[in-house]
Structure 1
């Protein structure tokens, strides 16, 4: 993806606002990154202040950004007619409910702000120059602090009355095999409550990166994620499912998920078979950069549509 405008006149900012950290970037193009920084997600007051300070200090070194894209964890309000547009709404992330993200940065930096979910931003990045450049119908799922998905149909990201909440689809659970009740504060047995990074830690007493590949955690995790993939296939008939996020750093999960998907699917989906499953359920190509690129593209789109560039 090329960003329009000269490197002198057109700098864009991007924020990938995650439940664990905020990744920030100033760029004149995807291959012309001027500065990056990352800040832990603590309280809204501390985190947003540090991010704003980064952009202020960066402007002294490189020049001010002309537009900002924010790809945020959620749930978020994406209705531009709403007084709460650009807010994080009722989130499981403690302390972050009812946080005005877009308004804060628009005022703090005096720039137009494009706002979407973190997973939509990552999906956009993967479509532009990652694992989905050759398809127009796909689902990008992040499995980390939370679980969410960006869904692209015919080249467009979809949102309804709100954005999709894949992480809160309800999961079948065998209480004898998995007595863990989940850690979602809103309802029992949802995907995020059973299969997110914090769910793994709360269930087994260790973070995922400290569990051996032979640990029973991974077969259980793969089963929940395979059920998710079957449900996504039934609902959206994607050409590809991309699984990202910190939990999927355990790359041995991919083959487990693929095998369980084929078993659960029972040969029902003609577009997915043992011969092409490795091209159907895949890892991101832009490891650590999907949301960054997506947020920059959001900023570029907003900038161009405001006719700043002739």
Structure 2
């Protein structure tokens, strides 16, 4: 954080938006507001990120999760349509997700942890899962990047895209999307991150349709479940920038 503060001292801005890994405290009434809470990432638990940058830079700071920032960036990229709701999930080293409804992020005093939603096992998938909290019971434990190497012994980026482990990930992500759709009914569901590509989204849509089983009417799944509108993994950067601008209005 010290190096980041030094950068902005040399390149000053009027406000700062931060999207970070969680869990974090977003409750303005909490004594740990703006802190990173208990996290498996070494050295970060109990870090007052928001307070540090406010003190070092003397500017207003807004802080949210990385996936909330990405979701907000996609909301902006889709035209800031407050009549619609947007869901964003990233599938990388972990799985996280956020929702923007009416221009506001879901969660007043706490943020969602949808990556740890419980899922049922894909038939024939005997992987024990890698989540240290839920093992094989949650989306992250079964669908994130480490699960690919955990099943095969080969890093995901070196696997052939026709390897069945990508089908497994698509199955678990489709469950998450279906559960969110049944709960929040977002108008757009965006899937980012490095694990699934556009071809994998075809599988996600197929599994989503099977889970729905004609229960509720849905829009064209090619328009409902999409890749990010912001290129080069830039959704969070755009979201952080726009959240910082909001502080100056």
> How high is the TM-score relative to the length of structure 2?
0.92
Output the CA distance in 1 between the equivalents of 2:229 and 2:79: 5
Q: 1:181 to 1:97 in 2, by over 3 A?
A: farther
Q: 1:208 to 1:251 in 2, by over 3 A?
A: farther
Matching residue of 1:6: none
Matching residue of 2:181: 233
Alignment gaps of 5+ in structure 2:
none
SS in 1 for 2:165: helix
Report the CA distance between 1:133 and its aligned residue: 5.0
Q: 1:210 to 1:130 in 2, by over 3 A?
A: farther
Q: 1:115 to 1:138 in 2, by over 3 A?
A: same
SS in 2 for 1:149: strand
Name the count of aligned residue pairs.
247
Report the CA distance between 1:103 and its aligned residue: 1.2
Which deviates further from its counterpart, 86-95 or 282-291? 86-95
Matching residue of 1:128: 76
Output the CA distance in 2 between the equivalents of 1:170 and 1:294: 28
Matching residue of 1:49: 2
Q: Does 1:299 align with 2:244?
A: yes
Output the CA distance in 1 between the equivalents of 2:79 and 2:149: 29
SS in 2 for 1:268: coil
Q: Does 1:258 align with 2:205?
A: yes
| 1:7-18 equivalent positions in 2, closer than 5 A | none
Output the CA distance in 1 between the equivalents of 2:181 and 2:47: 33
1:286 to 230, 233, 242: 230
1:185 to 121, 132, 151: 132
Q: 1:108 to 1:199 in 2, by over 3 A?
A: farther
Report the CA distance between 1:134 and its aligned residue: 8.2
Q: Which has the larger radius of gyration?
A: 1
Output the CA distance in 2 between the equivalents of 1:217 and 1:131: 35
Matching residue of 2:164: 216
* More strand per residue: 1
> How high is the TM-score relative to the length of structure 1?
0.75
Matching residue of 1:267: 214
Output the CA distance in 1 between the equivalents of 2:165 and 2:72: 31
Q: What RMSD over aligned residues (CA atoms) do the two structures have, in Å?
A: 1.9
Q: 1:209 to 1:132 in 2, by over 3 A?
A: farther
